[in-house]
Structure 1
Amino acid sequence: MSKVFHLNLSTCGLGFTIAGGVDAPLEDGSTAIVVRDIHECGAARKAGLHVGDKLISVNHKPLVNVTHQDAVELIKDAIPSQHVTLEVDRANMMSDVTVDKGDGAAADRLTLARKAFEAHDPELSRLAHELGAAPERHQTEAGQYVKAAVFGGMDGIVTTFAVVASVNGADLATGVVIIMGFANLIADGISMGMGEFMSALSESQYTLSERVREEWEFDHNPEGEIKEMVDLYMEKGFSEEEATQIMTIMAKHREFFIDHMMVEELGLMPPDEGESPAKNGLVMFLSFVAFGLVPLLSYLALSTVDFGSNKSDALFGIACAMTAVALFILGAVKSRFSTQSWYMSGFSVVINGAVSAGAAYLVGLGLENLVSLNDCP
């Protein structure tokens, strides 16, 4: 059963990719062109297109018995008109295609582009870049501080667990573990929060002062600033004519040109007016304290439980397990800011914590033995 869909591209991108073709048959051997991936913000989703729909024609040009690339070109040729008409056979539904259901897995252009790169998928890459015309999905304010929360949490867990391990290695009482752990947690948390605040504030102030200087220089000597950028571009391989033409056009847009100068000339990103050093510091402190409590939870919650003569070892073992799980989770989240896979990032953070705690444990054990020897008559 065929059905006609009208896609309006005036406010958003096309929003779908295809699979199939006479040169790229589907798993069932069919050479039909079918919809493989649909983005929630695209025109295809709004028009009601489904993953698995078999495409018969685009703007009345047949898509039957064509190669995959020919189908891509026919669809691309239809885009400039801003109105794409698709004739679709909905009798064929695929179950092995991927689809962005708007659950966050591929909800924005950057995520989709990364997904395309990892899969070496040119079609998905085209979709990702086309989505640049779609309405921008703004990051929430909370999302801006995820990085500070993750790294603050990692530092909190590792440093507190190192204290717990050293005290346990010295075979001190459970109460000492709690006292030392909390003292370290609060002191280090304040230090980390203030350090993050001062660092972010200093960086912001320095960047802003450099931008003010660049603005003054551009306003009073635009030819000199343009010449500097021309020289930089020539060092990158542009001819003088090309560099001059590019910079002359850029200089017509003052704010953009100054931001570009800061990046290319000074290696500084333009100041972010929405960034708050105070909030960064607060997030770092709260995350440090919250996650730093994890190694102490077993001592706080189970200190009254009777573990017999092995109470200290039992509490320490539980603390080790809880800390390892928390570190792995934070490491997995950290992979969002790196090229590592989530599991490798998780394991690397656990190993880092284990090495730190192991060193602290050995130091505590060694000092306990040293003190015991010195106390001997």
Structure 2
Amino acid sequence: MGGKKGKLDKADRYALLEEHRPERIQARLHRAPKSQRVSDFVLGAIDGCVTTFAIVAGAFGAGFSEAVVLVMGFANLIADGFSMAVSNYEATSVERAQLAAATRTECQHIALVPEGEREEIRQIFHRKGFHGEILEQIVATITANRKLWIETMLAEEYGISRFARKPLGAALVTFFAFIGVGAIPLLPYLVQPLDTTQQFYISTVLAACTFFAIGLCKGLVFSRRILASGLTTLIFGGAAAALALGIGFCLRSFIA
């Protein structure tokens, strides 16, 4: 990007113009939003790292051995990863069911009360600022294409996207992100020469780097301020870990 806010340098402007060529726009509008899988990954990765490092922090605060940390950490990693994957699967299935139900409803309404549905389209676009002959042309164009008519009603009346996530894909991405990223804070506990304190400190550094990296990726993908996104994710993850560490220290006297 250019140095001044809102300004583009020559290379960025050329790239932006290339992205807005008619064929590029057409291809972009016909594919599913890229954020769908990314959101599943971010959900699993952040929760996996937070959950596992919370166990590490809590166990360290309570004075547990590395064997206990590993058993609790990996058991929780698999169980919670599976639970989150199932939850995401069910949530995505509900989204698809809502899409299917709304589509059936609109198909039925268009068949039974077409003039009423045309009036809905008319009022929707009237609220967007269209009037007179232009408004009637929009209504005629949309209602002449049944698929377009239904998609417009789904988007405008129900707020439902025509792109429905696949439940199995969403579940698998969440599960493997949870397992893969969530295992990172446990890696130092697999190194035998290190004592418990060293293992915890290294785990803390790894978890912090992981939180920050996830935030950076999230900011990059969603075109947000990259550094701010990384720091925000780091702060939230660190807060959860600090809470677990504090609870571990508080409960140490009860289990000593």
Aligned position for 1:254: 146
Measured after TM superposition, the shift of residue 290 of structure 1 is 1.1
Pairing partner for 1:160 from 48, 52, 63: 52
Measured after TM superposition, the shift of residue 203 of structure 1 is 0.6
Deviations 1:292-314 (A, max 9, x none): 110100001x1x20x4xxx2111
Aligned position for 2:188: 298
Go from structure 1 to structure 2 and tell me whether the alpha carbon gap of 1:370 and 1:291 turns closer, same or farther (over 3 Å shift). same
Aligned position for 1:205: 97
Deviations 1:142-170 (A, max 9, x none): 99633312321111011100111001011
Aligned mates of 2:130, 2:243 — CA distance in 1: 53
Pairing partner for 2:168 from 230, 254, 278: 278
TM-score by length of 2: 0.86
Question: Cα RMSD between the aligned structures?
Answer: 2.9
Q: What does residue range 233-272 of structure 1 map to in structure 2 within 5 Å?
A: 233-239=125-131, 241-272=133-164
- Contact 1:230–1:240 under 8 Å retained in 2: no
Go from structure 1 to structure 2 and tell me whether the alpha carbon gap of 1:218 and 1:139 turns closer, same or farther (over 3 Å shift). closer
- Contact 1:217–1:225 under 8 Å retained in 2: yes
Aligned position for 1:181: 73
Tell me which structure has the larger Cα radius of gyration: 1
Q: Please, which runs of 5 or more residues in structure 1 have no aligned partner? A: 1-97, 99-116, 373-377
SS of the residue corresponding to residue 218 of structure 2 reads helix
Measured after TM superposition, the shift of residue 259 of structure 1 is 0.2
Go from structure 1 to structure 2 and tell me whether the alpha carbon gap of 1:156 and 1:216 turns closer, same or farther (over 3 Å shift). same
Letter in 2 for 1:132: E
SS of the residue corresponding to residue 270 of structure 1 reads coil
Aligned position for 1:343: 227
Aligned position for 1:27: none
Measured after TM superposition, the shift of residue 271 of structure 1 is 4.3
Letter in 1 for 2:210: A
Aligned mates of 2:150, 2:76 — CA distance in 1: 45
Letter in 1 for 2:104: V
TM-score by length of 1: 0.60
Q: What does residue range 38-57 of structure 1 map to in structure 2 within 5 Å?
A: none
- Contact 1:154–1:288 under 8 Å retained in 2: yes
Aligned mates of 2:130, 2:144 — CA distance in 1: 20
SS of the residue corresponding to residue 162 of structure 2 reads coil
- Kindly indicate which of the two structures has a greater share of residues assigned to strand: 1
Aligned position for 2:124: 232
Go from structure 1 to structure 2 and tell me whether the alpha carbon gap of 1:157 and 1:123 turns closer, same or farther (over 3 Å shift). closer
Measured after TM superposition, the shift of residue 366 of structure 1 is 0.5
- Contact 1:331–1:346 under 8 Å retained in 2: yes
Q: Which has the higher contact order (CA 8 A, sep 6+)?
A: 2
Aligned mates of 1:215, 1:120 — CA distance in 2: 49
Measured after TM superposition, the shift of residue 209 of structure 1 is 1.3
Measured after TM superposition, the shift of residue 370 of structure 1 is 4.2
Pairing partner for 1:362 from 238, 246, 249: 246
Measured after TM superposition, the shift of residue 173 of structure 1 is 1.1
Measured after TM superposition, the shift of residue 244 of structure 1 is 2.7
SS of the residue corresponding to residue 366 of structure 1 reads helix
Q: How many residues align?
A: 250
Residue 316 in structure 1 maps to residue 207 in structure 2: no
